[in-house]
Structure 1
Amino acid sequence: MISPRYFIALLLALVLLSPLGIDLFLPTLPYIASGLQTPVSHIQLTIPLFLLVMGIGQLVSGPLVDNYGRKPIALFGLGLYLLGSALAALAINWPIFLTARIIQGMAVCCTAVVAFSGVRDRLEGDDAARAYSFLNGSLNIVPALAPLLGGVLAHYWGWRAPFGFLFLYGLLLMIIVYKWLPETRPDSTHRSAIFPARTYASIIKQPAFLAFTFSIASALGMVLTYVSLAPTVLMAQDALSPFSFSVIFGVNGLWIMAVSALANRIIPKCGRPFCLLLGALSMLIAGVILFSEPYLLAPAILAHWLSYMIPVAISVAGLAFIMGPATSYALSPFQHNAGVASALLGFIQMAGGAGGSLVVLLLPLSPYVALAIMMLLGGMLATIAWLTSLKIKGSLTSLN
């Protein structure tokens, strides 16, 4: 049997499919738009659309994971990822590219549910929280390196090259999963309908599940808004080069990873409620700073990239403290429906985060105000999650 360390690493490789599908081509947005003869705003909208499809698709992939096992659905998702990546690399117009991105979103909804169900299958309580924190923290090596890698690939081989890379990564991972991913679905797992409306309804009726899940969704919405607006703010408004943008974007990813490692150490010492409170305060403080800056700072200072990135750094630090504890609290009671519960969490997380991000992106708001709104919303919902955790502290183990 594969060791726990290698098992988590394999789950991480599956989870990486999602951020790679977003961050790898960020520096190439203008080139894709030019190559497909479409406005760059169309290409930008594929980022939240990708996550929206991923979230909705999990409502179906979750029951499939419980019914047919983790490994078969992982392989099916990887097959879809190969198809979507190849189609994006070969796209000759906007409709084909859009279709490719939708297929990629459908693919990662399968692999994400497999990864989070796998953690729930083998770990509980603080151990599960630390595993989720590790997964979410390690994911930020992608924002640290992917834009730079995507920029290099596009520089030498054109904007299609990053999607060729995604195809090769998916192919390699499919071989690894086929040979080494163990089937972790418990024998006691309850089979369900393709769309188990009653099971979903019973889970949604639990206020604690909603409190933790909405805190995750709002945090993701904040990050998605930042990712969507960062190229415009840093490259257009602040006049940074694509290389400088990739470096700054990457350093922020490494920062999240470092804070996530710190959160992993704090969880067993101070507890999950403390981490939720710390995350909520960080997001609230960041939102207040970013919202106030246009009114308090001189135009020359406001035009510097640090005025945007310092509040972002504070806010994403809060994200690192929220994700692991909130995810473990949300999924802990559902040992016999881990796939379905993970799917519902993923749907609310992705659809809610993407939906909130789409709303603020479409409103006539400045990039600073739009992102500040998402930070403040995330901080308020994380505060509700913290208050909820105080009420159930010490009771989750008995529900497993």
Structure 2
Amino acid sequence: MQKFTLILLSLVLLAPLGIDLYLPTLPDIAQGLNTPVSTLQTTIPLFLLVMGLGQIVAGPLVDNFGRKPVALIGLLLYLFGSILAATATGWPQFLTARVVQGCAVCCTAVVAFSGVRDRLDGDDAAKAYGFLNGALNIVPALAPMLGGFLAESFGWRAPFWFLSCYALAVGVLVLFFLPETRPAGTLPVKGLPLKQYARILRQPRFLAFAFANAGALGMVLTYVSLAPQVLMNEGKLSALQFSVAFGANGFWIMLVSVLVNKMIRKVGRPVCLMIGSMAMTLGALLLFAGVALFPGGWQSHWALYMLPVTVAVAGLAFTVGPATSYALEPYQQQAGVASALAGFIQMAGGASGGLLVMALPIAEKSALGVMMLAGSVLIALAWIYSKKVRGTLTAL
């Protein structure tokens, strides 16, 4: 089971690597492609939006054709998209490459989370989801530094060549070592399963937990998108200092995720959701307090941004595992479809929320604080609903 989980992790890592590896190189890419940095920054939420929308199609595919074939197709697309980005000579080609990569990771993400649902239930599933999401934070901890080193040594195209090699290596692992986990009784899906999606969407339980994840992801997406502007342009951090601050926060989320995995069995998933909502609220209050209480000369200091973020992302760690397991538990025979729909709500909802608050005519820190409050409300609603569903699990 450990080898199986690690292979699923290698699939899940494709998404954060596609975001975090090239963050410190955005100015170099902008110069190389003669494109404004602000334009390139839109590829971050666009990548996640495509990933979310694509899962609506990928979900039926993994239920009809199996987890392994769809994973291999996704890896081929990722390889192609990475090569396209590495050889880009202009903005249109780079944009196309990011869209292709987004389509690729929607396949691999559905396979990974469907695989967990195929093998595990209840608290065990929550721990596995928490492990996958917690281990993901090794990527934002290390990827910016790796991307910066590769770009400094070999140019801004090097991170995308690295992604090409990674996709090829994971493809070999999947081809030879990933077992097919699709249950024998999986319901076949003809075309786009709109009726199945509609049936699942009518379940308040599913919506409560899926939107809790969307709120948490929206907060992280807003933080990541605004971090280069707040920390590098306003805070005057160098690329290396930015990578260290970004990476330290990633390790922090990983440590909190380990703690959550140990707490789930002792205190239960509802308590974890409650803590997640409280942490997100506290992060927002600290962010607004820093803006209101400190003089203007201090506003550009990195700590006034990163310390509230550190508190809020702990709420993410307490939320994702329990919320994902609660959302998918009733759908053993529809794991691919349910995982796809949950991923769509999480990715598309989080990306849309982040884009919305960033479009508001307010300062960057205020926009992040608003997204933190929205996430805390959604997680609180999930916590309230979690107290109603214990012991009442039924499959559709």
The normalised TM-score by structure 1 is 0.98
Partner of 1:287: 284
Q: Which moved more, 1:284-293 or 1:36-45?
A: 284-293
Matched, 1:240 2:256: no
Measure, in 1, the Cα distance between the counterparts of 2:96 and 2:221.
Answer: 21
Measure, in 2, the Cα distance between the counterparts of 1:199 and 1:264.
Answer: 32
Aligned with 2:63 (options 61, 66, 76): 66
Aligned with 2:29 (options 28, 32, 38): 32
Segments of 5+ residues of structure 2 without an aligned counterpart are none
Partner of 1:15: 12
Aligned with 2:50 (options 27, 49, 53): 53
CA-CA distance at 1:300 after TM superposition: 3.1
Matched, 1:87 2:84: yes
Q: What letter is aligned with 1:353?
A: G
Partner of 2:147: 150
Aligned with 2:270 (options 254, 273, 297): 273
Aligned with 1:392 (options 375, 389, 396): 389
CA-CA distance at 1:358 after TM superposition: 1.0
Partner of 1:201: 198
Matched, 1:337 2:334: yes
Runs ≥4 in structure 1, deviation > 3 angstroms? Answer: none
Cα displacement string for residues 74-102 of structure 1 (whole angstroms, at most 9, x for unaligned residues): 00000000000000000000000000000
Aligned with 2:226 (options 229, 237, 246): 229
Q: What letter is aligned with 1:100?
A: A
Q: What letter is aligned with 1:171?
A: L
CA-CA distance at 1:193 after TM superposition: 2.1
Alignment RMSD: 0.9
What aligned pairs does 1:112-127 form with structure 2 within 5 A after superposition? 112-127=109-124
| Partners of 2:138 and 2:250 within 8 A in 1 | yes
| Partners of 2:280 and 2:372 within 8 A in 1 | yes
CA-CA distance at 1:175 after TM superposition: 0.7
The normalised TM-score by structure 2 is 0.99
Measure, in 2, the Cα distance between the counterparts of 1:346 and 1:81.
Answer: 18
Matched, 1:311 2:308: yes
| Partners of 1:286 and 1:314 within 8 A in 2 | yes
Aligned with 2:181 (options 184, 187, 191): 184
Measure, in 1, the Cα distance between the counterparts of 2:336 and 2:253.
Answer: 27
Segments of 5+ residues of structure 1 without an aligned counterpart are none
| Partners of 2:219 and 2:368 within 8 A in 1 | yes
Q: What letter is aligned with 2:41?
A: Q
Partner of 1:375: 372
| Partners of 1:280 and 1:318 within 8 A in 2 | yes
* SS of corresponding position for 1:192: coil
Matched, 1:349 2:346: yes
CA-CA distance at 1:399 after TM superposition: 4.1
Q: What letter is aligned with 1:242?
A: A
| Partners of 1:64 and 1:194 within 8 A in 2 | no
CA-CA distance at 1:288 after TM superposition: 1.6
Partner of 2:166: 169
Measure, in 2, the Cα distance between the counterparts of 1:300 and 1:187.
Answer: 64
Cα displacement string for residues 313-334 of structure 1 (whole angstroms, at most 9, x for unaligned residues): 0000000000000000000000
Q: What letter is aligned with 1:357?
A: G
Measure, in 1, the Cα distance between the counterparts of 2:353 and 2:219.
Answer: 9
* SS of corresponding position for 2:186: coil
CA-CA distance at 1:291 after TM superposition: 2.1
Partner of 2:359: 362
- Tell me the number of residue pairs that the alignment of Structure 1 and Structure 2 aligns: 396
CA-CA distance at 1:228 after TM superposition: 0.4
Measure, in 1, the Cα distance between the counterparts of 2:353 and 2:92.
Answer: 24
| Partners of 2:48 and 2:348 within 8 A in 1 | yes
Matched, 1:137 2:106: no
* SS of corresponding position for 2:42: helix
| Partners of 2:14 and 2:105 within 8 A in 1 | yes
Measure, in 1, the Cα distance between the counterparts of 2:365 and 2:16.
Answer: 23
| Partners of 1:259 and 1:317 within 8 A in 2 | yes
Measure, in 2, the Cα distance between the counterparts of 1:304 and 1:394.
Answer: 49
Cα displacement string for residues 348-377 of structure 1 (whole angstroms, at most 9, x for unaligned residues): 100000011111222222110110011000
Matched, 1:109 2:106: yes
CA-CA distance at 1:140 after TM superposition: 0.1
Cα displacement string for residues 50-88 of structure 1 (whole angstroms, at most 9, x for unaligned residues): 000000000000000000000000000000000000000
Measure, in 2, the Cα distance between the counterparts of 1:272 and 1:191.
Answer: 32
Q: What letter is aligned with 2:154?
A: W
| Partners of 1:140 and 1:256 within 8 A in 2 | yes
Q: What letter is aligned with 1:53?
A: V
Q: What letter is aligned with 2:294?
A: L
Cα displacement string for residues 274-331 of structure 1 (whole angstroms, at most 9, x for unaligned residues): 0000000000111122123211112233221111101000000000000000000000
Measure, in 2, the Cα distance between the counterparts of 1:361 and 1:155.
Answer: 30
